[in-house]
Chains A and B, each alone.
Chain A
Amino acid sequence: MTVARRRSLALTTVALLGAAAVAACSGGGAGGSAGSGATHQVPQVAGPGESVTDTEIPQLDVGLSGAVNTLDPTLRSDSGIYVQPLGMEALLRIGPDGELQPWLASEWEQVSDTVYEYTLREGVTFWDGTELTSEDVKYSWEYLAAPESRRANFYSSVQSIDAPDERTVRVTLKQPDASWQYTPAMFYAIVFQKEHAEQNAATFGQPGTLAIGTGPWKFDSLNPTSGMELSAYEDYWGGEPPVERVSVTFFADDNSMALALRAGEIDIAPLVNGPEGFDAAAGGGTVTTVPTCGTALLSLPTQTAPWDDVHVRRAVAYAINREDVVAATQGRASGPLDLLISPILMRPLGSDDEVQAALDEVERYPYDPEAAAAELARSGSPDGFSATIPAYPGAEAATQVIAAQLAELGIDLRIDPVGDTEWFGAVSGPPDQRPLTFSETGACSPDPSWNDIWLGSANLAQGSTNVANWAPADVDQLLAAGLATQDPAERLGIYTNLLHRLSEDVPYVPLYAEGTTYASTTYDIAGYGSFWYSTPWVLNVVPRTDGAS
């Protein structure tokens, strides 16, 4: 960034200051859409391995909230999942409509109910010039699937991963699992060089060792306290990438990242946690929010009195005004949602009309105070009751809105602000002690089975997230049936039935569709959405033509 550019930015900042002050003082903003950036269209992605722009960009300065401790994809690495895929790629990609597209694999085929074969693209090389082989994929996936891996749960249906020849990877499942088809396109199925990982088994991914991949940007250095540097790989299979260097800076919070964007020290922040606050600090017009397949929800402990009474749960569902909850999220939400399974995830199961017709049949709980009162009157606690609701840091505002709405119904919620660790321990601890709580789903996978994480007896185990402690036998059967077939029509029926059951029993009250937000005044991220970080997303960074300057 040149001095002149900084000066002009500083002047712009002065000009924007007044507007920002007004916006900051107006109290949340009535519109609900975060910043003026949301008004423009996010452009489309290019073909596999190709960059959306051909404009040469000598250096892209990226800001990330939270640090990257390691590039080892099997460990907890906070913001690591956003930089790992710049250098380590997946075999497939999720297209704009949720369909699968080729990436490192040029072709793939489901050979039988349980066997999938992937043919690797010709001419893909690692950064040291050696060729990508099926052995590397086998090694990477087995590493990710190992019991001590943080990603093992995504591989739980895998029986074996084989490399019958140099270009073919064969995956055999223990039983049919329709959600597997998407796994090779996800950030938890990225591929790295076997030889390098084996030689550095003890320190793989750590700052001094890093990792070797096939991606468009090479990992040059990593410092967990400050940032990381990446440089373009000239022999990238998709052609030399136009961004020569990617310099990533880690920020402790949104606020300091927003000021750095405003000062011109970073060009883009690919993920912003609190869009409205960020936008106000960054000077306005910086953020773009798009919906994801994640559903924020209120979980009701179905086996604990007084929540074990279905009329209480239905009363709660009627008493929630989702618009107000959305407004309390400071731009994190992309809109109200009254289905646990996001319609985005149902899309691949049929034509738009078929899916819509199926979803229209599902009984909903719109905001209706009278219906809520009537349901509560039918319950075992007609006069209301008191309860405690823990709120993790960041969930306080939404929890307060929920508590205020339930207070009108006669349910008096005491909000208990707890730390992250305590909250994690509570929601995945002993099932009968899992609390009434608000939660966001966060990252989602592209299959309608994604929300299974909240349901069924398997997710009552310690470390699993059936927070509502809801596991009727017929629901377990539905969950199993949904994975056992790949026939879209059949799956549409099964997941619609599951939605019916959810409406009937109300273990969860769906609140809103979660959004994901990037911030920049000069760039856009093409194809930005639920799975933006499962591909080398800097390939999709494109200079903004209508950008503010």
Chain B
Amino acid sequence: MTGRAILLMIGKRLVALVVLVAILSFLVFSLVHIAPGTAVDAYLGGKPATPELVQLLTERYHLDEPFFTQYWLWLKDALVFDFGESTLTTLPVTDEIGIRLGPSAFLAVYAYVLTMILGVVPGIIAALRQRKLLDRGLVAGAVVALSTPPFVMGILLLYLFAVLVPIFPAAGRGEGFFDQLWHLTLPALALALCVAAFLLRHTRASMINVLDQDYIMFARARGLSWGHVLVRYAFRNALIPVVTVSGALLAFFFAGAVFVEATFSLGGIGELLVQSAQTSDMPMIQALAILIAVLIVLSNLLADLAYVAIDPRIRFEGRSA
């Protein structure tokens, strides 16, 4: 694939992203609008308030305006990247997301790296030791990890390594690189193990499939070293379906870690998303939905670029034209 073709592909994806965000923001806005309970109800929290306060808040959040006016008022600020203030905490949405972005990104990348290491490496080993004891053990372990939801894994890890053998902290996210690494090891493991188990089975199957191919046998027959065949022929080809899966993983870890975030009190993006949905916090929901959409599109773009790097024969022009 030429450099120009790649740039064209990236350009098309970015245009698609803008369209997607526009549609998404309207859909999310509509859904929150029809959900029962308003931002004022959430802010007042069922505690008595003066009628003046109710009136003031209703006007401040334009809840007395027609639906399309409300959406337009949000949109015209959002177009200049002003996402407003959280209706629940009254802090600017960008500040609220900003302080959670770093730790959530750290956790997502950490869990992603762990998933790759714990999924791909044992997956290849299991494939190479097919039907041996090690393979059986790894696959059995994967079944257990796969059937354990991250929040259960989280509580188990918390109990084992923060309470019984207190080598990791029970809560919080730490400051600075190494402190964060220490704080986020258990959460990242809790997130990673389940997905890594899935990836292990995926990698194993893909690798076994490739190892059965004729070109592997011919490569061996031509006298190429086993290591060379494994890395250049088997591994590269087996990796393509793995990359497909991993593309969506980063965004999933970023926004879908809510149970793990709650278990370890990390104060991350996932928790914020759930809280804002529960409290009809429209500015926050909108900003987060857009952020997550952008992340999903970008991580898929990265995965597609990784295909090209792994296998230059892969073309995208035909597909996206």
Q: Which residue of A10, A76, A251, A263 contacts B265 across the interface (Cβ within 8 Å)?
A: A251
Whole-angstrom CA separation of A152 from B52 in the bound complex: 9
> Contact flags (1/0) for A209-229 with B, using CB distance below 8 Å?
000000000000001111100
Do A224 and B267 form a contact, CB below 8 Å, given A419-B278, A425-B41? yes
Flag if A464 contacts B53 (CB, 8 Å): no
When chains A and B are docked, how far (Å) is the Cα of A509 from the Cα of B96? 42
A259 to B164, CA, bound (A): 10
Name the A residues within 8 Å of B35 (CB-CB). 422
Q: Is A418 interfacial (CB 8 A cutoff)?
A: yes
**B239 on the interface (CB 8 Å rule)?**
no
Residue of A224, A252, A262 with most partner-chain B CB within 10 A:
A252
Contact of B164 among A14, A207, A428 (CB under 8 A): A14
Is A265 a contact partner of B48 (Cβ separation < 8 A)?
no
A79 to chain B, nearest CB (A): 12
Output the least CB separation between B162 and chain A (Å).
Answer: 5
Known: A150-B53, A225-B100, A253-B262. Is A428-B41 also a contact (CB below 8 A)? yes
Is the Cβ of A70 less than 8 Å from the Cβ of B56?
A: no
Within 8 A of B (CB), among A1-47: 6, 9-10, 13-14
A6 to B267, CA, bound (A): 25
CB distance from B23 to the nearest CB of A (A): 25
Is B37 engaged at the interface, CB distance under 8 Å to the other chain?
yes
Residue B213 interfacial (CB < 8 Å): no
CB distance from B269 to the nearest CB of A (A): 10
Q: How far is the CB of A116 from chain B (nearest CB, A)?
A: 21
Q: Which chain A residue shows the least CB distance to B96?
A: A224
Question: Is B66 part of the binding interface, using a Cβ–Cβ cutoff of 8 Å?
Answer: no
> Is the CB–CB distance between A227 and B172 below 8 Å?
yes
Query: A76 contacts B43, CB within 8 Å?
Result: yes
Q: Say whether, besides A225-B100, A252-B261, A259-B163, A428 and B170 are in contact (CB < 8 Å).
A: no
Q: Which residue of B lies closest to A67 (CB)?
A: B267
Complex interface: chain B residues within 8 A of A486 (CB): none
| Contact count A vs B, C-beta below 8 Å | 178
Q: Which residues of B contact A424 (CB under 8 A)?
A: 37, 41-42, 44-46
Task: Give the distance to chain B from A450, nearest Cβ to Cβ, in Å.
Answer: 11
Of A287-295, A363-371, A455-463, the stretch lying at the interface with chain B is A455-463
In the assembled complex, the Cα of A227 lies from the Cα of B267 at a distance in Å of 10
Question: Is B263 interfacial (CB-CB < 8 Å)?
Answer: yes
Answer yes or no: A547 CB below 8 A from chain B CBs. no
Chain A residues with CB under 8 Å of B44's CB are 76, 150, 424, 428, 463
Name the A residues within 8 Å of B54 (CB-CB): 461-463
B103 within 8 A of partner (CB): yes
Q: Give the complex CA separation of A418 and B163 in angstroms.
A: 35
B263 touches A255 (CB 8 A): yes
B residues contacting the other copy or chain, number (CB 8 A): 54
A123 in the interface (beta carbon within 8 A): no
Do B278 and A13 have beta carbons less than 8 Å apart?
no
Q: Does A351 contact B (CB under 8 A)?
A: no
Residues on B with C-beta less than 8 A from A148 are 53, 56-57
Which of B51, B158, B261, B266 sits near A463, CB closer than 8 Å? B51
Give A228-267 as 1s and 0s: 1 = Cβ < 8 Å from B's Cβ atoms: 0000000000000000000001111101110110111100
* A75 CB contacts on chain B under 8 angstroms: 89-90
Q: How far is the CB of A366 from chain B (nearest CB, A)?
A: 29
Assembly CA distance A453 to B49 (angstroms): 10
Residues from chain B with Cβ under 8 Å of A418 in the complex: 36
B280 cross-chain contacts in A, Cβ below 8 A: 421
Say whether B173 faces chain A, with CB atoms less than 8 Å apart. yes
Let me know if A330 is at the binding interface, CB within 8 A.
no
A341-358 near B? 1/0 per residue, CB < 8 Å: 000000000000000000
B258 nearest CB neighbor, chain A only: A252
- Give the Cβ gap from B42 to chain A, nearest Cβ, in Å: 4
Distance in angstroms between the alpha carbons of A109 and B43 in the assembled complex: 36
C-alpha spacing A419/B159, complex, angstroms = 30
Rounded to whole angstroms, the CA-CA distance of A262 and B165 in the bound complex is 12
Instruction: A485 to B107: give the CA distance in the assembly, Å.
Output: 60
- Which of these, B99, B159, B162, contacts A223 with CB under 8 Å? B99
Task: Give Cα distance in the complex from A339 to B172, angstroms.
Answer: 43
Indicate if the CB atoms of B53 and A422 lie closer than 8 Å: no
Residues of A close to B163: CB separation below 8 A:
10, 13, 259, 262-263
Asked whether A181 is an interface residue with its Cβ less than 8 Å from the other chain, the reply is no
Q: How far is the CB of B108 from chain A (nearest CB, A)?
A: 16
Q: Is B299 an interface residue (CB 8 A)?
A: no
A251 interface neighbour in B52, B165, B171, B279, Cβ under 8 Å: B171
Within the complex, the shortest CB–CB distance from B198 to chain A, in Å, comes to: 26
How close is B35's CB to chain A, nearest CB, in angstroms?
A: 8
Query: Could you give, for residues 182-208 of chain A, a 1 whenever the CB lies within 8 Å of some chain B CB and a 0 otherwise?
Result: 000000000000000000000000110
CA distance A147 to B54 in the complex (A): 9
* Cβ-defined contact, A249 with B48, below 8 A: no
Residue of A nearest to B183 (CB): A226
Residues of A within 8 A of B172 (CB): 226-227, 249
Q: Which residue of B lies closest to A423 (CB)?
A: B46
Closest Cβ neighbor of B104 among chain A residues: A225
**How far, in Å, is A75 (CB) from chain B's closest CB?**
5
* Residues of chain A with a CB closer than 8 A to B51's CB: 461-464
Determine whether B319 belongs to the interface, using a CB cutoff of 8 Å to chain A. no
B135 contacts chain A at the CB level, 8 A cutoff: no
In the complex, whether A472 has a CB less than 8 A from a CB of chain B is no
Known: A76-B45, A224-B267, A225-B99. A13 touches B52 (CB 8 A): no
Selected contact of B170 from candidates A226, A227, A256, CB within 8 Å? A256
Nearest A-chain residue to B165, judged by Cβ: A10
CB of A19, distance to nearest CB on chain B (Å)? 15
Q: Is A140 an interface residue (CB 8 A)?
A: no
Per-residue contact bits, chain A 255-288, to B (CB 8 Å; 1 contact, 0 not): 1110110111100000000000000000000000
B50 on the A face (CB < 8 A): yes
Nearest CB on A from B112, distance (A): 21
A149–B44 CA distance with the chains assembled, in angstroms: 11
Tell me, in angstroms, the Cα distance from A453 to B48 when the chains sit together: 7
Q: Mark B58-78, 1 if CB is under 8 A from A, else 0.
A: 000000000000000000000
| Chain A residue with the shortest CB-CB distance to B168 | A263
| A252 in complex: contacting residue of B41, B91, B169, B271, CB < 8 Å | B271
Q: For B35, B41, B159, which residue has the most chain A Cβ atoms within 10 angstroms?
A: B41
Chain A 471-502 residues near chain B, CB threshold 8 A: none
Bound state CA distance, A427 and B162, in angstroms? 42
Q: Does A159 contact B (CB under 8 A)?
A: no
Chain B's nearest CB lies how many Å from the CB of A459? 7
Residues of B within 8 A of A428 (CB): 41, 44, 46, 48
User: Which residue of the partner chain, among A147, A249, A257, contacts B50 with CB atoms under 8 Å?
Assistant: A147
**Counting CB contacts under 8 A, is A133 at the interface?**
no
Contacting residues, chain A, for B43 (C-beta < 8 A)? 76, 150
Additional 16 contacts, C-beta under 8 A, given A150-B44, A152-B49: A9-B166, A10-B163, A69-B88, A76-B45, A147-B53, A225-B99, A256-B265, A263-B163, A263-B169, A265-B170, A265-B171, A419-B37, A424-B42, A427-B46, A442-B47, A461-B54
* A–B Cβ pairs within 8 angstroms, 26 of them: A6-B166, A13-B163, A76-B44, A76-B88, A147-B52, A224-B91, A224-B99, A225-B100, A225-B266, A249-B265, A250-B265, A252-B261, A252-B266, A256-B264, A257-B265, A259-B163, A263-B162, A264-B166, A421-B37, A421-B279, A424-B44, A428-B41, A429-B41, A461-B54, A462-B51, A465-B47
- A residues sitting closer than 8 Å to B (CB atoms) are 6, 9-10, 13-14, 67, 69-70, 75-77, 147-150, 152-153, 156, 206-207, 223-227, 249-253, 255-257, 259-260, 262-265, 418-429, 439, 442, 453, 459, 461-465
B interface residue numbers (CB < 8 A to A): 35-38, 40-54, 56-57, 88-91, 96, 99-100, 103, 155, 158-159, 162-166, 169-173, 261-268, 271, 278-280
Closest 3 CB pairs of A and B: A225-B267, A421-B37, A425-B37
